[in-house]
Structure 1
Amino acid sequence: MSDEEDDYMSADFLQGVSDQPVGIAKSRAHKRQLQIHSRFEESRETFKPKRPISHAEREKERREEALAKPISQESKGFALMAKMGFKPGMTLGKQREDEIRITEPISVDIKGNRKGLGHEVEEVQERNDRVEAVMQKMKEQAAKHEELIDDYSKRRKMDNNAKQLVKDIRACRKVCEELDHRIGKKIPIVDWFWRSYKVVQEETEAPKGYYRSRETEKEEEYKYSNGLKAPVDPNYDVSMPTEELEDALSKINTYLRDGHFYCVWCGAEYCSPEDMAEHCPGSTRRAHHGDDDHE
């Protein structure tokens, strides 16, 4: 066998062994390679450099080791206490029935840094103050979030209320015009009770020689559905104040109920005030739909 084959710990040989997979040996040569690889790994762990221990860590280990050891029975202090009847595991002094005493030495907390006395307590207090400040900020953010949600809900509710008011006003105007035409009215009792429509009229051309001689001027005019002149249509929509919408609905609804015995929410025209009072739930949407009403 050559010298190269006998040099089992050479770098080239170990490099080849380290590349071999660990597992069950398939042959005698493979078994030998696995054994060499195992020895090589053990030697690497044995000679693995350790992190140097600092002087402070070494002193701490010695201190904890010394404090963990009980008092030697050969010391003079233990001999004096033994003469007074002390035995290992006993407490010092006379013990009352309701008193609990410690049987182990009090642990010693040795200061191992250059910070001033009481600095640890101050650090704990500062840490607690920071935690409390963070918790307070989180509570304020949560309260602000709830306030934003509440404001959004209120705005959403107001928008839905305005939409419903506009819808009821338009329904009342449509019914009012139809019922007034049925009894022969030419114009509404209040201008806006009927809807008016914009009509565009063209005027005659300007005299020749004028710089706008080829253009025509247009004038806007509003009329009711029967062709009679009408004022500008108010065009009720959700952009109007809620109070104004509620006032307009109250006025036209009162006219329909008193003048035509008609309820827009029942969708029915009654024969008399007595018939309406008996069969109509009331003069508001809430009276007809309960919780479905938008305030």
Structure 2
Amino acid sequence: MSADFLQGISDQPVGIAKSRAHKRQLQIHSRFEESRETFKPKRPISHAEREKERRDEALAKPISQESKGFELMAKMGFKPGMTLGKQREDEIRITEPITVDIKGNRKGLGHEVEEVQESNDRVEAVMQKMKEQAAKHEELIDDYSKRRKMDNNAKQLVKDIRACRKVREELDHRIKKNVPTVDWFWRSYKVVQEETEAPKGYYRSRETEKEEEYKYSNGLKAPVDPNYDASMPADELEDALSKINTYLRDGHFYCIWCGANYCSPEDMADHCPGSTRRAHHGDDDHE
């Protein structure tokens, strides 16, 4: 058969014959596949593989009873299946020969054990590093959560202080009070005044000299406004809120979180949940 003919046969699909010619083509194709598997060249066996096969075959066979060594052992009372030496009651001995471990490389004795130990050490080092990275990641997340909570806490404190100052000023104006009991209880505003004449003996600049001063909303002179913001320490914000909130509750019977002005201390005690934000909303306590 020519190669072209066989190639044409191999391209034919396998299936049910539709005609006598098709049936013959399928039979030829089947015989061709069987012959190709039969005469398929085998991979050559290497010298090391051939030695291993012979060694395994030899070790699988028991010691011949016709050998000189077996005859000497038989004279000393040895029988097939017995162990060598006197056996104690609590001792377990092997009845099969110890397997032979053939060394097929030039590495020193114990080198394989050392390689395994080094591999285990590397794996352990990688695992330890991963644990440290995970712990550091958790620490960063925890630190971020704490800082986020502190920032929100500071922002809420500033918001409450500003609300207290605003309400305090309105309530003091109702009772015709001109200045606050404590300077910063009211908000002060910066006022810029322009001077028309420069002091004698000084060179007058082209720009008009300006002098800054602070005043309350009623026009009276005031100190510099503290301008409370979230960048201030939390303990200072908490102390300021505690002072102004205490004055509002004791002096005006007003609760900033209730948003109500009570008639008396007894009325406040009966209807106000408490003197902290937590008591009203369950949020972080700003004492």
Q: List per-residue Cα deviations over 1:107-130 (Å, max 9, x = no partner).
A: 111211111122112212211221
Q: Tell me, yes or no, if the aligned pair for 2:252 and 2:261 is still in contact at 8 Å.
A: yes
Q: CA deviation at 1:282?
A: 4.1
- Point out where structure 1 has 5 or more consecutive residues left out of the alignment: 1-8
Corresponding residue number in structure 1 for 2:81: 89
Q: Tell me, yes or no, if the aligned pair for 2:9 and 2:28 is still in contact at 8 Å.
A: yes
Indicate the larger mover: 128-137 or 230-239.
Answer: 230-239
Change (3 A) 1:229 1:21: farther
Q: Give the TM-score normalised by the residue count of structure 2.
A: 0.81
The alignment of Structure 1 onto Structure 2 pairs a total of residues equal to 287
Output the CA distance in 2 between the equivalents of 1:14 and 1:40.
8
Output the CA distance in 2 between the equivalents of 1:293 and 1:22.
84
Q: Give the TM-score normalised by the residue count of structure 1.
A: 0.80
Output the CA distance in 2 between the equivalents of 1:44 and 1:206.
116
4+ runs deviating over 6 angstroms: 199-221
Change (3 A) 1:220 1:48: farther
Change (3 A) 1:76 1:44: same
Q: CA deviation at 1:68?
A: 1.8
Indicate the larger mover: 145-154 or 254-263.
Answer: 254-263
Change (3 A) 1:195 1:291: closer
Output the CA distance in 2 between the equivalents of 1:154 and 1:277.
34
Output the CA distance in 2 between the equivalents of 1:211 and 1:40.
118
Q: CA deviation at 1:53?
A: 2.8
Change (3 A) 1:210 1:271: closer
Q: List per-residue Cα deviations over 1:176-223 (Å, max 9, x = no partner).
A: 112111111123223332234566778889999999999999887755
Indicate the larger mover: 241-250 or 90-99.
Answer: 90-99
Q: Tell me, yes or no, if the aligned pair for 2:154 and 2:237 is still in contact at 8 Å.
A: yes
Q: List per-residue Cα deviations over 1:72-101 (Å, max 9, x = no partner).
A: 233233344445554433333444443322
Q: List per-residue Cα deviations over 1:44-81 (Å, max 9, x = no partner).
A: 33333333333222222222221122222332333444
Change (3 A) 1:27 1:130: same
Change (3 A) 1:153 1:23: same
Q: CA deviation at 1:277?
A: 5.0
Corresponding residue number in structure 2 for 1:134: 126
Change (3 A) 1:46 1:186: same
Q: CA deviation at 1:137?
A: 0.9
Q: Tell me, yes or no, if the aligned pair for 2:276 and 2:286 is still in contact at 8 Å.
A: no
Change (3 A) 1:34 1:198: farther
Q: Tell me, yes or no, if the aligned pair for 2:17 and 2:26 is still in contact at 8 Å.
A: yes
- Point out where structure 2 has 5 or more consecutive residues left out of the alignment: none
Percent identical pairs in the alignment equals: 94
Q: CA deviation at 1:154?
A: 0.9
Q: Tell me, yes or no, if the aligned pair for 1:262 and 1:268 is still in contact at 8 Å.
A: yes
Q: CA deviation at 1:162?
A: 0.7
Q: Tell me, yes or no, if the aligned pair for 1:166 and 1:236 is still in contact at 8 Å.
A: yes
Change (3 A) 1:215 1:24: farther
Indicate the larger mover: 75-84 or 255-264.
Answer: 75-84
Q: Tell me, yes or no, if the aligned pair for 1:266 and 1:280 is still in contact at 8 Å.
A: yes
Q: Tell me, yes or no, if the aligned pair for 1:205 and 1:213 is still in contact at 8 Å.
A: no
Output the CA distance in 2 between the equivalents of 1:195 and 1:108.
95
Q: CA deviation at 1:143?
A: 1.4
Output the CA distance in 2 between the equivalents of 1:208 and 1:154.
59
Change (3 A) 1:209 1:10: farther
